[in-house]
A and B are shown apart, each in its own frame.
Chain A
Amino acid sequence: MKFIDAAFECETGSYHTFCPISCVAWLYQKIEDSFFLVIGTKTCGYFLQNALGVTIFAEPRYAMAELEEADISAQLNDHEESKEICMQIRRDRNPSVIFWIGTCTTEIIKMDLEGMAAKLEKELGIPIIVARANGLDYAFTQGEDTASAATVHRCPAINMTIPKNEICTSDGDSSYEFKYQSQFKTYKLETHNLVLFGSLPSNVASQPNSDLKRQNICVMGWLPSHQYAELPSLGEGIYVCGVNPFLSRTATILMRRRKCRLIGAPFPIGPDGTRAWMEKICDVLGVKPQGLKEKEEKIWKNLSEYTNTTNGKSVFFMGDNLLEISLARFSVRCGMIVYEIGIPYLDKRYQAAELALLKATCEVMNIPMPRIVEKPDNYNQVQRMHELEPDLAFTGMAHANPLEARGIDTKWSVEFTFAQIHGFANARDVLELVTRPLRRNLGSIPSGRNNPSRQEPLCC
């Protein structure tokens, strides 16, 4: 695998992002029979309570095990304490699996979560999966990566004696007939041992399933699945492919521990990414892709109203959720000029194909390759932004309002983590998000010298 010769930089790592424990927000919704227990302090609880906003009131399947002073100083037995809470969870919710989310504090006091979980699992009869999604090691979406990586170990080993066409059931559409009839075409399905990883809302996940089916590729399963019991079988001979750029640990574990073969593709974000992703899968599985080019073109044609808005606009990614490379690549393809791609962590091997596509896209669109800044320093970035004056900044909420007050349009980056951005059909949603701040400023407010809602830039 060859790395591209782009300029990579690394700064101080003083940047704002969400704590990785935020992954419980979408994972508990994805894995319907799960329960997430975050073992941490009031700080963790306060973050979840405020960051998750209204979901906290919908009786979510997660809770805090709040560590008190007696836990920290080991006056209480952590095994007994966690057992009591887990028994309560079993009584009240009866989940099929409990995820323990380890935090900074459990790391610092070196609580043996894995050891405790193994013991408790036997006592309680419920699988307990430990994910150390803490702010000492990870940023935001990487929380999902740790949880998925931990789940890999629970996937059943594949049994090659099962006839291939019987294991071809995929997320949500197991009742599909093999002589599958459609208005468009009749498919003859061939089975490929493909498992996709990455947590997507189930209505988004069923789209790549059916898109790939159209290419005669059947998705065997997803990691994570929407029920714990439906985790896909893994083993030698299984191909795996990621749908999100932040899943490098999961990819590594899948390859090293379960001997799966990783398809290194760009990520299915934007029509260009989706097409490249599918082509790469087809290529590896020896299938000739059909109709993808036409489909991509058709999507682009439908997006022209948005791309008219984005064309020629400059954009700055401050970096907080690891989707930045893919979003930047898509933005470049939409005619935008990317000044800087901040990113918390860049796995150049896992993202190699995405980086290559970014480079190729820059060449096609005839713009310079943007600088990629790993572990950015937000203070320095704001200084750079004052010089560059980008039309749009992708940034966290901590900086959004202050930047708006200084005349820089912003897009709240966290929205991309929660919005549906994958696949052909959702390209529109991505652009809807990207262009919203730009459209908001087009003409609707009579422009004097400047937008009246704006203040003069304050000193900083």
Chain B
Amino acid sequence: MKSAYWMYAGPAHIGTLRVASSFKNVHAVMHAPLGDDYFNVMRSMLERERDFTPVTASIADRHVLARGSQEKVANNMNRKDEEQRPDLIVLTPTCTSSTSQEDLQNLVNRALISSTSDVISADVNHYRVNELQAADRTSEQIVRHYVNKAIERGALNRSVTDAPSANIIGMSTLGFHAQHDCRELKRLLQGLGILVNQIIPEGASLKDSKDLPRAWSNTVPHREAGPMTAIFPKKEFGMPHVSITPAGPSDAADFIGRLEGYINAWASVLLEKGVDYEPYVVNQTRFVSQAAWFSRTIDCQNPTGREAVVSGDATHAASITKILVKEMGIRVRRSGTHRKHDTEWFNEQIQGLCDEILVTENHTEVGDATARVEPSAIFGTQTERHTGKRINIPCGVIPSPVHIQNFPLGYRPLLGYEGANQIADSVYNSFNPGMEDYPSDVSGGHDTKGVVTKLSSNKEDLKRTTESQLELSKIPGFVRGKIKRKTEVFAKQNNILEITIDVMYAARESFSP
């Protein structure tokens, strides 16, 4: 047993569901007790999704435990098959099925007998992998399943496209700014004259899987999602993949450079001339992205040398650390990630860029380390934002886990050249409030809250019993003043001299709308 009340990465089934519900016309059936379909709430709420989340729970209750869940799960899968005709049903194990050691493959076989959809069970173990690992694994599993199927039918199309093309792998629902990143990446590839062959899993149709190998290269912008999915076609078809995250101008340039190499491998044969992306990079860096210019401006002198700490998933924490140090001249006291199994890669990425590296899944450790360092700004998850609130240090939220405000309506990519602009804004704004607070504290502050609440309680002739005082203190602060005033008005109108609890209720009942 481990005591905890905050976790950076969710349970395995969340990863599977994120991937399954990102594909087009794929339905996930969870084998889970009542209440475990909380994923639907998150997707509907955070993504503000207009469609019903294609996830159904086959409810495991006492009867299921007693008799085994053979019929119920198989029936539920067949029912979904009839109702919604998905291309694929993904049977998703949860901690319940891992614990009760359900034979999911058997359930899949049963469902397959009468189902027109494909049925597979996600190969993830609740106790071994977390959300991110499971997402990667499931994505690979689905892609492999359909590519193999295409091979069997002899339908696999292995001829590369005429024009340079690439697949984008690892964009899924509930990813941090994933929709915006996806759009920005498409824009970037378009700018280079590279066709987007497929995006996986977001919006991908399984019917198109046969065309997956047609791309000249794969791109895997996020370390957390997609590497496994990219390794499979690499082994199978020798497809190269770019796994650099194009966040910030210099990494974007590296990303494009690597891509150029892969494109040129085919270009010399197919196009009879190589491609040169250098002018594009220069143009973007100098004119489209403001980030490079911004780091030279007077504004950016302010944060120079100030101190920050970074934590988050490996991709975002490493990218932000690099941007802070290399582009903006900020001193990173500590950088860290909760991706324990990716420590080596993380260390390698930020080697020499920060004073200290902290790899932990324990949020209190991160909080304590932050409090010790006392940086001018924090870049981390929502937890770190709250640490910041507690110790009064501004925080920019960079990766998941996140809240609804991290699913902005406006265009907020983190990748590519527009992403560099967004990150620069975010970094600058995180430092700025710190600067603002400083002079106002020095000049004695401007907090007038104490005065505001006393505004209308000048009726000295009114008395309050201790109980009603107590009652008043139980009312949430933001309406307390209003209720107090209204009660006093009511008391005056009714010639009541002492405010008791009864008077408070009578007043409340009589408030006209």
Contacts of A82 in B (CB 8 A): 1
Residue interface bits B1-44, CB-to-A below 8 A is 1, else 0: 11111110011011000000000000000001111111011101
Residue A227 at the B interface, CB < 8 A? no
Smallest distance from the beta carbon of B404 to chain A beta carbons, Å? 9
User: Taking CB as reference atom, which chain A residue is nearest B387?
Assistant: A57
Smallest distance from the beta carbon of B274 to chain A beta carbons, Å? 46
User: Taking CB as reference atom, which chain B residue is nearest A57?
Assistant: B386
Contacts of B270 in A (CB 8 A): none
The answer to whether A136 and B48 touch across the interface, beta carbons within 8 angstroms, is no
Residue interface bits B111-140, CB-to-A below 8 A is 1, else 0: 000000000000000111010000000000
The answer to whether A183 and B95 touch across the interface, beta carbons within 8 angstroms, is no
The answer to whether B94 and A43 touch across the interface, beta carbons within 8 angstroms, is yes
Smallest distance from the beta carbon of A19 to chain B beta carbons, Å? 3
Interface of B is mostly: mixed
Smallest distance from the beta carbon of B425 to chain A beta carbons, Å? 25
Bound Cα distance A303, B511 (Å) = 10
- With A14-B57, A53-B403, A203-B475 known as contacts, the answer to whether A64 contacts B52 (CB < 8 A) is no
The answer to whether B1 and A68 touch across the interface, beta carbons within 8 angstroms, is yes
Bound Cα distance A134, B127 (Å) = 19
Task: Select the residue from A82, A139, A182 with max chain B CB neighbours within 10 A.
Answer: A182
The answer to whether A39 and B1 touch across the interface, beta carbons within 8 angstroms, is yes
The answer to whether B503 and A398 touch across the interface, beta carbons within 8 angstroms, is no
Which residues of A289-346 are within 8 A (CB) of B? 295, 298-299, 302-303, 305-306
User: Taking CB as reference atom, which chain A residue is nearest B475?
Assistant: A203
The interface size bin for chain A is: 35 or more
Contacts of A46 in B (CB 8 A): 7, 10-11, 14, 38
Query: Which of A57, A66, A402 is in CB contact (< 8 Å) with B50?
Result: A402
Residue A88 at the B interface, CB < 8 A? yes
Query: Which of B59, B127, B513 is in CB contact (< 8 Å) with A72?
Result: B127
The answer to whether A67 and B1 touch across the interface, beta carbons within 8 angstroms, is yes
Query: Which of A22, A108, A137 is in CB contact (< 8 Å) with B96?
Result: A108
- With A14-B76, A78-B1, A108-B100 known as contacts, the answer to whether A202 contacts B60 (CB < 8 A) is no
Smallest distance from the beta carbon of A22 to chain B beta carbons, Å? 8
Contacts of B288 in A (CB 8 A): none
The answer to whether B35 and A63 touch across the interface, beta carbons within 8 angstroms, is no
Smallest distance from the beta carbon of B216 to chain A beta carbons, Å? 36
The answer to whether B34 and A135 touch across the interface, beta carbons within 8 angstroms, is yes
- With A136-B61, A401-B50 known as contacts, the answer to whether A20 contacts B35 (CB < 8 A) is yes
Residue A173 at the B interface, CB < 8 A? yes
A-B contact pairs, 29 of them (CB 8 A): A17-B34, A19-B38, A41-B11, A42-B11, A43-B13, A43-B126, A45-B7, A46-B14, A47-B36, A60-B5, A63-B4, A65-B1, A72-B127, A76-B1, A136-B34, A136-B61, A172-B470, A173-B501, A175-B467, A176-B467, A183-B500, A183-B503, A207-B505, A210-B505, A302-B509, A302-B513, A306-B513, A397-B44, A398-B41
Q: Other than the known A14-B59, A398-B41, what 10 A-B pairs have Cβ atoms closer than 8 Å?
A: A13-B59, A41-B11, A60-B5, A64-B5, A68-B2, A104-B33, A108-B65, A183-B494, A402-B44, A405-B50
